[in-house]
Structure formats: structure tokens, C-alpha cells
Structure 1
Amino acid sequence: MEFTNLISIMHKGGAVMWPLYALLVVTVVLSIERTITLIVQWKKEEIMVKESLGKPLSILDLIAMIAPVLGFLGTVTGMINAFKSVSEASSVQLQVVAAGLYEALFTTAFGLIISILATVFSFFLDLAIESLCEKSEET
């Protein structure tokens, strides 16, 4: 995806898209970093796995909770903008209403996608940590 397309997507979703995008970046970076750390510790078979890996997973869980709420905030602001445009227009046009609804639905979908990604990454990393802990307890 080109950078100009990314900026275009951010503008289409309104102001709420920027914090959602930040959450997406944090989710991807944390997931990659935790996966690499887990692989390194798996090879070393270190015992202190939970303490060193657990905290960023709780951040992923927090992101999974916050992202849909931010998406719904985008829904509310999009609806407000749509109704504001309708109230200021001399005649109601479908394009005016559709623009606000587009913003509203776009942010909701983006927030839900981020939440799903964070939840899935957190779940699988948690399973891997549990497996590593069991493996280290056996030795």
C-alpha cells in the first residue's frame, strides 16, 4: 500500500482514525517483538518467561478492548457530522448523509479489525508462553 493511500484512508475515517492507526502500529510492533523474544527464550529455555513476557501481552489485551471503543467513537462523530450537515443543508442530499455514514462505518470496522488482531496475537502468544513454562518446569 502506498503512503498516499494510507493518508487517504486516514482522512476518510476522520480524526478517530489516527489513534486507531497508532493502536494498530503498537499491536503489530508488540506482537512481532514478543514473538521474537519468545523464540529466543524458547531456545534458551529460560525459567522467568512469564515475568518477562507477560506485561506486553496485557497491553495487547488493553488494545483489544480500546480499539472497538475508539471505532465506536468514530461512529458517533461520523453520525454527528452527518446530522449536522443535514441540519445545515437547505435540502437533504443523499451524498451528505452518506459521507457521514461512511466515516462512521469505516472507523468501526477498523477498530474491530485491530481488536481482533490484538486478541488473536495475545491468545497465541499466551499459549506459547504457557507451553514454554511447562517445558521449563519439566527440566
Structure 2
Amino acid sequence: MKRLFSILAITFLMAIGTVNANATTTFASATATVTSVTQEEAPAEDLTFHQELKKRFIEGGPGFMGIVLLCLILGLAIAIERIIFLNLSTTNTKKLTQNVEDALNSGGIEAAKEVCRNTKGPVASIFYQGLDRAEEDIDAAEKAVVAYGGVQMGQLEKNVSWISLFIALAPMLGFMGTVIGMISAFDKIEAAGDMNPSLVAGGIKVALLTTVFGLIVAIILQIFYNYIIAKIDSIVNDMEDASITLMDLLVKHKK
């Protein structure tokens, strides 16, 4: 009897162990399945704007995208150089005019020329040229101011035409990339003899990306170009107003 109870007890323990083992295996399998499904269903991590831009740029191909990027780099370099130059060329015209008038009244032409020498900017340079010819007559001073004003305007507008070139060139390169991409897509269709979307998707995608990046470059450079043109117009207006004021001061000083 004791032997029978011992056998039953051992059998019961083995059954419990088997059930536990099967349950553990089943749970592990279920856990692995759930984990796999979760990983498959989990959405892809969202890329940042910089990462997305870099990804799309690489997908566009190194050929036309590299040229479009070069247009952006060169255009921005020229634009930044012009902005720095124009900001340094900006002068407080009212203050300069007042200083020149005070110098004329106190020390004459030479004192006014010294004030202009110590002041930076195209307006001060124009004043100096006019004062330098003032001892001859008013007409000579006016001609010197007009002539040197044209020289200073040329300095202000230097290299601005290159920015407008890159503004026009970037989208044209993008459109050329679009045309080449479409031609490549149709070549693949002709070679395959079948209208399979997978054959043409890559070429069309590259074509559209080159167009998008070309337009982005043109928009960025256009903003800088308009700012530079507005800054040049402002400085030129100051130069013209200051030139008229200088002539009035010289006439008054002659009298």
C-alpha cells in the first residue's frame, strides 16, 4: 500500500512538472509572438526636418543635386558678403551733414574734408570729392559728386548679378533633372515592355526631388536678393539726398 501511494505521489508530481513546463513554454512562445507582432506594428520613428532633408537630398542623386547645392553655397556666400559690405557702408547721413556744416562754419573746406576722411561709407566719400573740388567752383564740385556717386553705386551693386544668375540657374537645373529622370523612366518601360509602376517610380521620384530642391534654393536666394536690393536703394537715396544738401552747404559757404 505504501509503495502504491509512493508511485501515485511520484506520478502526480511528474504530471504537475509537465504541466508547468508546458505552461512555461506556451507563455514564452506567446510572449515572443506578441513581441514580434508589436515590433512589426510599431510605427517607424519620425525623422527630424534635418534628417528628412538629408535623406531626400541623397535620394535625389549626386549629379544634379550637387550642382544645385553648389548654386546655393555660392549664392549665399555672395549674399552674405554683400550684406556685410552694405551694413558697413550705411552712414548716419544727418549726423554727417551736421558735422560737415559745423566744420565748414568753423574751419572751412579743409576741416570739412577732415571730417569726411574720418567717416566711413560712400556718402562720406562723395562729400570728400565734392569738397575737394569746391575751391574751383560749384559746377566742378557738382560734377565730381555726380561722377563719384556713380562709382560708389557700382561698388554697392558689385557681384549682385551673380545672385540673380543662381536664382535663375537653380530651378532650371531642377527642371533639367526632372526631364532626365522622366526620360530614364520611359527608357525602363520601353526595355521591360510592360507598364510596371516599380520600374518608373524611382526615376519619377528623383525627377521630382531635383525640381523641389531647385525651387527651394531659388526661394532662399530670392529672399536675400530682395533684401540686398532694398538695402542698396536705401543707401543710394541717402547718397542723392546728401549730395543735394552738400551743394546747398557749399553755395551757402561761398556766399
Structure 1 length normalisation: TM-score? 0.84
User: 54, 62, 65: which is aligned to 1:17?
Assistant: 65
Cα distance in 2 between the residues matched to 1:90 and 1:111: 32
Provide the secondary structure at the position in 2 that maps to 1:55: coil
Q: 2:154 maps to which residue?
A: 51
Q: How does 1:120-139 map to 2 (within 5 A)?
A: 120-139=223-242
Instruction: Report % sequence identity.
Output: 32
Partner secondary structure for residue 108 of structure 1: helix
Q: Which runs of 5+ in 2 are unaligned?
A: 1-49, 92-119, 124-150, 243-255
**Shift in alpha-carbon separation, 1:38–1:24, aligned structure 2, 3 A:** same
Is 2:165 aligned against 1:62? Answer: yes
Counterpart Cα distance in 2 of 1:19 and 1:76? 16
Do residues 32 (structure 1) and 80 (structure 2) align?
A: yes
Counterpart amino acid of residue 161 in structure 2: S
Residue number in structure 2 paired with 1:97: 200
**Contact 2:56-2:209 at 8 Å conserved across structures:** no
Whole-Å Cα distance in 1 between the matches of residues 154 and 221 of structure 2?
Answer: 20
Deviates more, 1:114-123 or 1:44-53: 44-53
Name the aligned partner's letter for residue 46 of structure 1. P
Cα distance, 1:65 vs structure 2: 1.3
- Kindly provide the CA deviation profile for residues 56-95 of structure 1, in whole angstroms up to 9, marking residues without a partner as x: 2111111111111111100011111211222223654322
Shift of 1:10: 4.0
From the CA coordinates, give the structure whose radius of gyration is larger: 2
Higher relative CO (Cα under 8 Å, sequence separation at least 6) belongs to 1
CA RMSD of aligned residues (A): 2.0
SS of residue in 2 equivalent to 1:130:
helix
Task: Could you tell me which runs of 5 or more consecutive residues in structure 1 were left unpaired when the two chains were aligned.
Answer: none
Deviation at 1:20, TM superposition (A): 0.6
TM-score w.r.t. the length of structure 2 is 0.49
Deviation readout 1:21-53 (Å, 9 max, x if unpaired): 100111111111111111111143314542123
Structure 1 residue 9 displacement after superposition: 4.0
- Offset at 1:99? 0.9
- Mapped to 2, the partners of 1:112 and 1:60 lie a distance apart of 14
Given candidates 206, 210, 218, the residue that maps to 1:107 is 210
Aligned residues: 136
On the 8 A contact 2:185/2:199 being kept in 1, the answer is yes
